[in-house]
Amino acid sequence: MRNTFCLWALITALTMPGLALANSPRDYLPLDPGSVFVAFYYDHYYGNDYYHKGTKVSGNTNYYANVGVFRPVYYTSIGPFTVDPQLILPFGEADLIKSPSGGLGDATFAATIWFINNKEYKFIFAYTPFLTAPTGRYDPNSPVNFGSNRWATKHEVCVAKGFGDSTWLEVAAHVQFYSDNNDARDAENRTVTSSKAASYGGETHLSYNFTKDFFGSFDYYYLHGGETTINDTWQKDWVDSHTLGLSFAYMLTPHTQLMINGKTDASVYNGIMTSSFGARLGFIF
């Protein structure tokens, strides 16, 4: 039961797109105030190899997830700063060791503040607070869930720099804090409280314009921490993962963008080594 719980905790994080809340390349390049961006995401995740403390202990996990995200974003101004209040709402289905789950995930509210957006020197410095509410479907007896049954708040800063007319480098770092889950299960299937330590991470996107309507990006993601407790006993299930990806985006029309991406874990300390592919369709109003 303990291994099942560890799997549950890790997969809950994996099935939230974003990730949970990972960025797409050029997310930190803002639209003009007054603009609206509405995006629909689809990602397919899959993996078989389960690692514990850096050692592969199973090759038959048979994990998969199909995750969609609805994300409306509104760009406005507060004084001299551009701000983009937004909603991130995941939904979908997942299966782990023949235990399916599906429905709505936890809703996240966010708003990036661009403290520096220098278009002449192509330099950006921005901060994004995220607040995730436990609105998603949660079953304490399931090894995989779309809801985490805990509040979370993430704080991210990003520095972005343009080089010439075609290249952008974005570097972001974050820390995320979690409330307790008061409806977890222990090895005897008793209801207990589970705490979760803070997690830390970062990501980098190096993108290049092949034409004015088409760009590609090399993507890198790192995540560490998030160890959980059961009855105040640490479960030694912290995450330490490195993920590589490629993204390509094309403007179908002046107001419609299609982005496709692929990612794969390069290393995993605890959890399932996962790969994914997906698409984002975005509309600018």
* Count of C-beta atoms within a 10 Å radius of residue 141: 11
Domain regions of the chain by residue span = 2-284
* Count of C-beta atoms within a 10 Å radius of residue 50: 24
The pLDDT assigned to 98 comes to 81
CATH T-level assignment (fold) for domain 2-284: Porin (2.40.160)
What CA–CA distance (Å, rounded) separates 110 from 46? 28
The pLDDT assigned to 2 comes to 37
What CA–CA distance (Å, rounded) separates 278 from 273? 17
Dihedral over Cα of 131, 72, 103, 235: its sign: negative
Taking only the tens of pLDDT, the chain with its 285 residues reads 334 434 444 443 333 434 556 899 999 999 999 999 999 999 999 999 999 999 999 898 889 999 999 999 999 999 999 999 999 999 999 998 788 888 999 999 999 999 999 999 999 999 999 999 999 999 888 888 888 999 999 999 999 999 999 999 999 999 999 999 999 888 888 999 999 999 999 999 999 999 999 999 999 999 999 999 988 899 899 999 999 999 999 999 999 999 999 999 999 999 999 999 999 999 999
The angle at the Cα of 155, spanning 29 to 41, to the nearest 5 degrees, equals: 55
The pLDDT assigned to 3 comes to 42
The pLDDT assigned to 188 comes to 85
The pLDDT assigned to 12 comes to 39
Our measurement of the distance from residue 203's CA atom to the centroid of its chain's CA atoms, rounded to an integer in Å, reads 11
- Rounded to two decimals, what is the model's pTM? 0.92
The pLDDT assigned to 100 comes to 86
What CA–CA distance (Å, rounded) separates 132 from 129? 10
Our measurement of the distance from residue 93's CA atom to the centroid of its chain's CA atoms, rounded to an integer in Å, reads 16
The pLDDT assigned to 133 comes to 96
The pLDDT assigned to 228 comes to 92
